[in-house]
Chain A
Amino acid sequence: MIRNRVLFVLAAAIAVAALALPFLSFAPNRLLSGQGIALAAALEMPRGLALLAPGAVLLAVPFLRPSRGATAASVAAALLVGAGLLWLAGLHAAELAATAPPAARTSFGSGFWAMEAAALLAALDGARRLGLPAPGRIALGLATALLLAAPLAAGQLDQLSILKEYANRRDAFSDAVLRHGAIVAAALVPTLALGLPLGVLAQRRPTVGRLLFPVLNIVQTIPSIALFGLMLAPLSALSAAFPSLGIAGVGMAPAVIALTLYSLLPIVRNTAAGLDGVPEPVREAARGMGMTPAQLFLRVDVPLALPVLLAGFRITLVQAVGLAAVAALIGAGGLGAIMFQGLFANALDLVLLGAVPVILLALAADALLRLAEALLPLPGGRRAV
């Protein structure tokens, strides 16, 4: 009898993908499409046990009586499957590379992606079932990151196509990462400088909020490519009129302006919502005790609104990391540039070299700010950590 349907479906998906979908794809060079290689080919014994053993646990747990121990075992097994897949992919790619010409490429196949995704979902679902307190969740997140990063750091994945692409443009890649971060950071400065005061104003003057929020909502619905495009004309005109400003219709300036426009909504909205959430009796008491408006704001309003403010900042940051990739279309550079280069050259691994770091950056930003939120004193003064 199946006791845990979610885990059963995920484990079954892994099993089906292992049998039916290509684990890796091998091509004579980076532009040709490859031929599939089944997982079985990479599962030499005894190293295959590293994958088969946790895989068997994952398949067995859905039939066990639900308990914390079983759930914990499923989380551990899912993470080991996830790491084992990476490790085996790297090892087999190295074996293939040993006998193939230098131009040959081994990339992840659809089976790898399906199994990796199902394994991580199973780990996530199990972690939620465990209901760990914040320190446990943070530790588990770090352990997952380390487990998956270890084969990468050890150079075991170097023969995979995506890392070969990386090796070919190591300098361009680190420049792109820095550039990506610079675009996001440059957008956050005006976002916070404008968004925080606007949020305070929108909360204190409902008329301002009624005018401001529809505008910001509409901006948010404009597709990013269209907004970047809309920046071109006015900025080109501006740079033609005042060449000394050093602004151009393409590049950093329109990217930063567009990102700022997108980022304003979550910041303004959460600032206003956070301040709205401060109980009126508390503010009344603070005034009655003789706090000046500045003391009321800094000692009462800000600390009580901080969790919501921080959540707004997290949404903004994650969104900006993603949107900055699109800004490459108007010449802003960053990881998006690598992605589009791959798209136009029909080189899937180059696309991944741009896209995967964007996802990882967004996940890291999200995790870091969630950690900050967890470290904040709760309204009751306790800390989640």
Chain B
Amino acid sequence: MTRPMIAFEGVTKRFGSWTAVDGVSLAVEEGEFCVLVGPSGSGKSTLLRMVNRLAAPDAGAVRVAGEDIAGLAPEALRRRMGYVIQSVGLFPHWTVARNIATVPVLLGWPRARVRERVDALMRLLNLDPDRFRGLYPHQLSGGQQQRVGVARALAGDPPVLLMDEPFSALDPITRGTLRTELAQIHRKTGKTILFVTHDMDEALALADRIAVLEQGRLVQHATPREILTRPADGFVRDLVGREEWGLKRLAVETAGERARPDAPPPSEQPPGEPLPGDMPLRRALSEMIARGVDRLPVMDAEGRPAGVLHLADLVRS
């Protein structure tokens, strides 16, 4: 049995008479992308901050890789976790490179290794090292700053990444790009990511599993598909939103999953560029409308025919 990377065990946190987090138990598996979603005041940020001990639970325990973190030195614990916040919090008196090197320097890595690591991370985050290395935070756009923020969080190669509304302050286009890049980074690095947002669409787009919080309580912990198809209660249903529910539903499933697998003989193969199997159904629908067809071929990751997607299949639930 695998041990969860992060485990909350009956965690409660009070601020005066207000209970921010109320008896939450939640497990995040190694390599999982878990999104905590809820309105402001639902306790999602407090829950996240208890993982790196920026907040301490009043009751219950938080375990990381099986260890109760209450017994660990907070600084050592934090250097094993990346931390990204909405306001980025880059050090204004340090260059981009020095900012990214924060944790490696704290860990006492040799200089050459730090430099190598910084360059590798800048490339991973699509920041040209030669252009950005020596710049200061105020010389960057908001999106570039948050790229540096993410690179800085990844610098110590931590197994866990904590992200507190990292993209909320960015414009929608930059937010979308960074979301896509974060999903790619997650696939490439296999980090365990705990991500806080108030935006259910962001949660649906990124998460392996979503934990919905309301007034400090865990309301539902499930995959995006389950959240959409079997919301625990009216609150979750409202959070998902009735508007465009169908399209959101299509967004969490891929063309490969719905395609009719038995490939027809080449003569009956529908014309047109085949869709990649991992394309969300929502985009597949958009393709059909754009091309004016009701059937499209689907290919697998190696480019081999993997069936045909019919318009009728999209409405079948």
Using a CB–CB distance below 8 Å, which chain A residues touch chain B?
279, 281-292, 295, 300, 303-304, 377, 379-382
> Is A288's CB under 8 angstroms from B106's CB?
no
**Which of B2-10, B70-78, B181-189, B222-230 is the interface stretch?**
B70-78
The reply on B42 being an interface residue by CB < 8 A is no
Given known contacts A292-B75, A295-B106, A381-B136, is B89 in contact with A285 (CB within 8 Å)? yes
Interface residues in chain B, defined as those with a beta carbon under 8 Å from any beta carbon in chain A = 52, 54, 74-79, 83, 85, 87-95, 102-103, 106, 136-139, 149, 152, 162
Sample of 7 more A-B contacts, CB < 8 Å, known A281-B88, A289-B83, A289-B102: A287-B54, A288-B78, A288-B83, A288-B162, A289-B79, A290-B75, A290-B106
Closest to B49 in A: A288
CA distance A283 to B89 in the complex (A): 7
Using known A-B contacts A377-B93, A381-B95, determine if residue A281 contacts B85 with beta carbons closer than 8 Å. Answer: yes
Instruction: Point out the residues of chain A lying under 8 angstroms from B74, CB to CB.
Output: 290
Report how far A381 CA is from B90 CA in the complex, Å: 13
B75 touches A381 (CB 8 A): no
With known contacts A289-B106, A290-B75, A282–B90 Cβ distance under 8 A: yes
Q: Which 6 A-B pairs have the closest CB atoms?
A: A285-B89, A288-B83, A290-B78, A290-B79, A281-B87, A281-B89
- Interchain CB contact under 8 A, A285 and B85: yes
How far is A54 from B16 in the complex, measured between Cα atoms in Å?
A: 74
Neighbouring B residues of A284 by C-beta, 8 Å: 54, 85, 89
With both chains docked as a complex, state the minimum distance between the C-beta of B227 and any C-beta of chain A, in angstroms.
Answer: 29
Whether the pair A379, B93 counts as a contact (CB closer than 8 A) is: yes
B residues in contact with A381, CB < 8 Å: 92-95, 136
For B93, the closest partner residue in chain A by CB is A303
Q: How far is the CA of A381 from the CA of B139 in the complex (A)?
A: 10
With beta carbons under 8 angstroms apart, the residue of B76, B77, B91 that contacts A286 is B91
Q: Is B93 within 8 A of A285, CB to CB? A: no
Please indicate the chain B residues that have their CB under 8 angstroms from the CB of A300 in the complex: 91
**Total CB contacts across the A-B interface at under 8 A:** 71
Whether A288 contacts B85 by the Cβ 8 Å rule is: yes
Complex contact B75–A291 (CB within 8 A) = yes
B101 to chain A, nearest CB (A): 11
Q: Which residues on B sit within 8 Å (CB–CB) of A289? A: 78-79, 83, 102-103, 106, 152
- In whole Å, how far is A375's beta carbon from the nearest beta carbon of chain B? 14
Decide if A291 touches B136 in the complex (CB within 8 Å). no
**How far in angstroms is the closest Cβ of chain A from B83?**
4
* Most chain A CB inside 10 Å of its own CB: which residue of B88, B89, B103, B149: B89
Q: Which residue of B is nearest A376, CB measured? A: B93
Complexed CA–CA distance, A291 and B95 (Å): 18
CB distance from B195 to the nearest CB of A (A): 15
- With the chains together, A283 CA to B152 CA distance in Å? 15
A382 to chain B, nearest CB (A): 8
CA distance A279 to B95 in the complex (A): 17
The residue that A287 contacts in the complex, of B78, B87, B152, with Cβ under 8 A, is B78
Cα–Cα, bound, A292→B94 (Å): 18
| Chain A residue with the shortest CB-CB distance to B107 | A290
Instruction: Tell me the complex Cα distance, A215–B41, Å.
Output: 40
A373 to B78 CA separation, bound complex (whole angstroms):
35
Contacting residue for A290 out of B88, B103, B149, CB 8 A? B103
Query: Which B residues touch A281, using CB under 8 A?
Result: 85, 87-89
Interface pair A380/B136, CB less than 8 Å apart: yes
**Chain B residue with the shortest CB-CB distance to A300:** B91
**Which of B54, B91, B139 is the one whose CB lies under 8 Å from A288?**
B54
The smallest C-beta distance from B33 to any residue of chain A, in angstroms, reads: 20
Instruction: Decide: A379 and B106 in contact? CB cutoff 8 A.
Output: no
27 A–B pairs (Cβ distance < 8 Å), ordered by A: A279-B89, A281-B85, A281-B88, A281-B89, A282-B90, A285-B85, A287-B78, A288-B52, A288-B78, A288-B162, A289-B79, A289-B83, A289-B102, A289-B103, A290-B74, A290-B76, A290-B79, A290-B106, A291-B106, A292-B75, A380-B136, A380-B137, A381-B92, A381-B93, A381-B94, A381-B95, A382-B136
Query: Which A-chain residue is minimally distant from B134 (CB atoms)?
Result: A381
CB neighbours of B83 from chain A (8 A): 285, 288-289
Which of B77, B92, B102 has the most CB atoms of chain A within a 10 A radius of its CB? B92
Give every chain B residue within 8 A of A382 (Cβ-Cβ).
136
Q: CB distance B91 to A380 under 8 Å? A: no
Report whether B89 and A282 are in contact in the complex, using a CB–CB cutoff of 8 Å: yes
The answer to whether B77 touches A290, judged by C-beta atoms less than 8 angstroms apart, is yes
Measured in the bound complex, the distance between the Cα atoms of B176 and A167 in whole Å is 79
Residues of B within 8 A of A283 (CB): 89
B145 CB to nearest A CB, Å: 11
> In the assembled complex, which residues on chain B have CB atoms less than 8 Å from the CB atom of A377?
93
Q: B92 is contacted by which of A288, A291, A295, A379 (Cβ under 8 Å)?
A: A379
Residue of B nearest to A278 (CB): B92
Bound CA–CA A292/B74 (angstroms): 9
Once bound together, how far apart are the Cα atoms of A262 and B116, in whole Å? 52
* Distance between Cα atoms of A381 and B97 in the complex (Å): 13
- Of chain A, the residue at the smallest CB distance from B137 is A380
Query: Distance (Å) between the CB of A384 and the closest chain B CB?
Result: 14
Closest A residue to B89 by beta carbon equals A285
Contacts of B103 in A (CB 8 A): 289-290
Q: Tell me the bound Cα distance from A281 to B90 in angstroms.
A: 8
Determine the distance from Cα of A377 to Cα of B103 in the docked complex, in whole angstroms. 23
Among residues of A, the one whose C-beta sits closest to the C-beta of B95 is A381
Q: B2 to chain A: closest CB distance in Å? A: 27
Q: Which residue of B lies closest to A377 (CB)?
A: B93
Distance in angstroms from B225 CB to nearest chain A CB is: 32
Q: Roughly how many angstroms separate A74 CA and B88 CA in the complex, as a whole number? A: 49
Q: Do residues A285 and B92 form an inter-chain contact, with CB atoms below 8 A? A: no
Cβ contact within 8 Å between B75 and A380: no
Considering the chains assembled together, what is the distance between the CA atoms of A377 and B138 in angstroms?
Answer: 14
Given contacts A289-B83, A289-B102, A290-B77, contact A282 B91 (CB under 8 A): yes
Contacts of A286 in B (CB 8 A): 89, 91
Residues from chain B with a CB closer than 8 A to the CB of A285 are 83, 85, 88-91, 149
